[in-house]
């Protein structure tokens, strides 16, 4: 079958347009580049020559390939040259009237069969198409920056776009070595539609002083495996660009979660646009630099020293409890592993021994270190043995009644001055604290699963937690080589409060038939660099667990946009809970 679009015009040769032009030329197609004027055209050609020279230096291209590629690209300032193209891709600034005017001109200049594509990231493709007499041959083709390395292309259809035109553009994307996903015409499409709502909530979290920018970013990198924290990513994208996308999203959805956080507008008004201006959420060495500089912290009262922790107790015998025991034991701390029976405790220690053995087999641990860690762990079937430990971590079932009952018992048993910590991921820490007569000694210490591998610990202080208790847990995290982030006692803490609304948005996107499970997962992995797509992650976490957390978040914040998606509730009611039942958003039993 003949390859689609042997000649492609690219109008607007900034960073994105130049990248698209080079990618198309690499496929052997002729490229007609169009800029706004002669000076801009000269600069654009120089930009293309410089980027391809860098590609040769980095061995992504040979010198011969570069020569052949440049021979396929012509750059000028006459829009009429686009009449020679089979496909025109527009990459001009994100201004609706500018794009509509351009498309009206292209419609007049180009033959009726020419396909016109907009590279918009946030504007309505339908409204752009309406400026032409050929809306069936107008669509969106959203490349991601940098074009040479980003595999994702969102092919955006309006209600009038012909399936043939969309498929031809998807085929072109595949021929460029990209992976196209089909999206409908709504602000943000798939990747940005999910990404920017999450970034907006992170900005609002920082604005409310719930956590520091460093802790928010570290929490999402270490807790979710994301390539960048949300505030650093906002600086990279550009605070002004993010605000523009969010305004477009809110205009369509009227969802308050899409309304740009006020801090974004304040930063834009002040000219603090992120890396490109040298300052945004962070300050950088110079405009355009990627290197943040340390800033002087505001004067604050010195934190008191923490309490001494010479031994710890862990309540529970499940995967999380066993993992936490392993963390403490490998750091050289004596640990009492307390379960509801001696048999359960012994079984948990046996699981710990297997985990340590796997580490030895993989060369991560010596046999001596394994034996030393195991020798520090004492299994017990009675909580009364915890009487003399300096810190207890509760890791039992995620049920508030169960946890409160345990904290009441620990209050009676454990010596005065000991720290009592819960590793809850979704329940209020204060409710555990008020089950005791010493709420000042109670704190959240939220490990992530698997605890031995995951570096993050959310340190959650209630309104009653003593400062030296917080200091104790922060010092202990450093001792066991974990990265602590501090936050207050509200639903979801940092990670789940940002992660689960994003997952819920993905489910809503699916139930609205906007995109498929595979396309949404592909978009987030290839477009945003996420280690897993939202539906892969939901199936791993468990749909029932996810639904519980969604409900807790909605109950706490009362935002309509945080209400659990009906599809998630239906799947849980049907017993489709993800990998653990063999079926969730995907059928794992057949794989």
Q: Tens digit of pLDDT for each residue in 408-463?
A: 999 999 999 999 999 999 899 999 999 999 999 999 999 999 999 999 999 999 99
7-185: what fold? Rossmann fold (3.40.50)
Domain spans, the chain: 7-185, 191-277, 312-492, 495-581
Q: For the domain covering 312-492, report its CATH number.
A: 3.40.50.720
How are beta strands 30-34 and 7-11 bridged, if at all?
parallel
Residue 147: phi and psi, rounded to 5, are -60, -35
Is pLDDT at 297 greater than 70 in this prediction?
no
* Residue 463 near residue 475, CB atoms below 8 Å: no
Cβ neighbors of 300 (< 8 A, separation 6 or more) are none
303: confidence class by pLDDT, cuts 50, 70, 90:
confident
Q: What is the mean pLDDT of residues 552-581?
A: 96
We find that the CATH architecture of domain 191-277 is Orthogonal Bundle (1.10)
Q: What is the largest CA-CA distance in the chain?
A: 85
Is pLDDT at 301 greater than 60 in this prediction?
no
**Percent of the chain at pLDDT exceeding 90:** 94
**For the segment 164-198, what is each residue's pLDDT rounded down to a tens digit?**
999 999 999 999 999 999 999 988 899 999 999 99
495-581: what fold? 1.10.1040
Is pLDDT at 300 greater than 60 in this prediction?
no
Question: Which amino acids are annotated catalytic?
Answer: 425, 446, 458, 496
C-alpha to C-alpha distance for 250 and 260, rounded to whole angstroms: 8
Per-residue pLDDT at 72? 97
**Percent of the chain at pLDDT exceeding 70:** 98
C-alpha to C-alpha distance for 125 and 96, rounded to whole angstroms: 10
Q: What is the mean pLDDT of residues 355-382?
A: 95
Nearest to 237 by CA among 171, 185, 183, 191: 191
Please give the mean pLDDT across all residues of the chain: 95
* pTM score: 0.91
Per-residue pLDDT at 207? 97
Is pLDDT at 299 greater than 50 in this prediction?
no
Q: What is the mean pLDDT of residues 487-511?
A: 96
- Check if 7-185 and 191-277 are the same fold: no
C-alpha to C-alpha distance for 333 and 313, rounded to whole angstroms: 10
Is pLDDT at 533 greater than 60 in this prediction?
yes
**For the segment 59-98, what is each residue's pLDDT rounded down to a tens digit?**
999 999 999 999 999 999 999 999 999 999 999 998 999 9
**For the segment 238-265, what is each residue's pLDDT rounded down to a tens digit?**
999 999 999 989 998 899 999 999 999 9
Residue 155: phi and psi, rounded to 5, are -100, 110
């Amino acid at each position: 079958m003949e390859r689609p679009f042997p000649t492609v015009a690219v109008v607007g040769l900034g960073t994105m347009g130049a990248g698209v032009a080079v990618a198309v030329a690499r496929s052997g197609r002729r490229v007609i580049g169009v800029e706004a004027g002669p000076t801009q055209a000269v600069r654009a050609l120089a930009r293309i020559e410089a980027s391809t020279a860098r590609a040769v230096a980095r061995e992504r291209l040979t010198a011969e390939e570069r020569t052949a590629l440049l021979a396929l690209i012509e750059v000028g300032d006459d829009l009429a040259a686009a009449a020679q193209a089979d496909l025109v891709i527009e990459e001009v600034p994100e201004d609706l009237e500018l794009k509509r005017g351009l498309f009206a001109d292209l419609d007049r200049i180009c033959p009726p069969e020419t396909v016109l594509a907009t590279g918009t990231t946030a504007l309505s493709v339908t409204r752009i198409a309406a400026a032409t007499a050929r809306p069936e041959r107008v669509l969106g083709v959203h490349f991601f920056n940098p074009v040479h390395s980003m595999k994702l292309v969102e092919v955006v259809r309006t209600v009038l776009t012909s399936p043939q035109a969309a498929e031809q553009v998807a085929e072109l994307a595949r021929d460029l070595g990209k992976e196209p996903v089909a999206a409908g015409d709504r602000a943000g499409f798939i990747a940005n539609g999910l990404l920017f709502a999450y970034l907006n909530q992170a900005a609002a979290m920082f604005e409310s002083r719930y956590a520091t920018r460093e802790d928010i970013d570290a929490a999402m990198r270490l807790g979710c495996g994301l390539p960048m924290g949300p505030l650093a990513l906002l600086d990279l994208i550009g605070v002004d660009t993010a605000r523009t996308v969010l305004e477009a999203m809110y205009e369509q959805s009227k969802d308050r979660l899409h309304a740009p956080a006020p801090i974004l507008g304040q930063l834009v008004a002040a000219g603090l646009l992120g890396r490109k201006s040298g300052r945004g959420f962070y300050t950088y060495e110079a405009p355009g630099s990627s290197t943040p500089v340390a800033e002087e912290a505001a004067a604050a009262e010195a934190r008191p020293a923490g309490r001494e922790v010479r031994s710890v107790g862990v309540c529970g015998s499940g995967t999380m409890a066993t993992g936490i025991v392993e963390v403490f034991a490998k750091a050289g701390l004596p640990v009492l592993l307390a379960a509801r029976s001696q048999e359960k405790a012994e079984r948990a220690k046996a699981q710990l021994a297997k985990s340590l053995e796997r580490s030895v087999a993989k060369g991560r641990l010596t046999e001596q270190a394994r034996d030393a860690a195991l020798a520090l762990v004492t299994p017990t079937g009675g909580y009364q043995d915890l009487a003399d430990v300096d810190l207890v971590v509760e890791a039992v079932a995620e049920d508030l009644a169960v946890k409160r009952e345990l904290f009441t018992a620990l209050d009676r048993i454990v010596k005065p001055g000991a720290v009592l910590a819960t590793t809850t991921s979704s329940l209020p820490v204060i409710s555990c604290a008020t089950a005791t007569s010493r709420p000042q000694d109670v704190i959240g210490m939220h490990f992530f699963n698997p605890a031995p591998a995951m570096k993050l610990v959310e340190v959650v202080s209630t309104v009653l937690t003593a400062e030296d208790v917080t200091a104790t847990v922060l010092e202990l995290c450093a001792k066991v080589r974990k990265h602590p982030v501090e936050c207050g006692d509200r639903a979801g803490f940092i990670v789940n409060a940002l992660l689960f609304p994003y997952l819920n948005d993905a489910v809503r996107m699916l139930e609205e038939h906007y995109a498929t499970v595979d396309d949404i997962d592909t978009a987030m992995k290839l477009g945003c660099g996420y280690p897993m797509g939202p539906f892969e992650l939901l199936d791993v976490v468990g749909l029932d667990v996810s639904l519980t957390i969604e409900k807790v978040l909605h109950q706490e914040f009362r935002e309509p946009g945080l209400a659990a998606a009906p599809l998630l509730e239906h799947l849980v009611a049907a017993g489709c809970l993800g990998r653990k039942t063999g079926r969730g958003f995907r059928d794992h039993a057949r794989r």
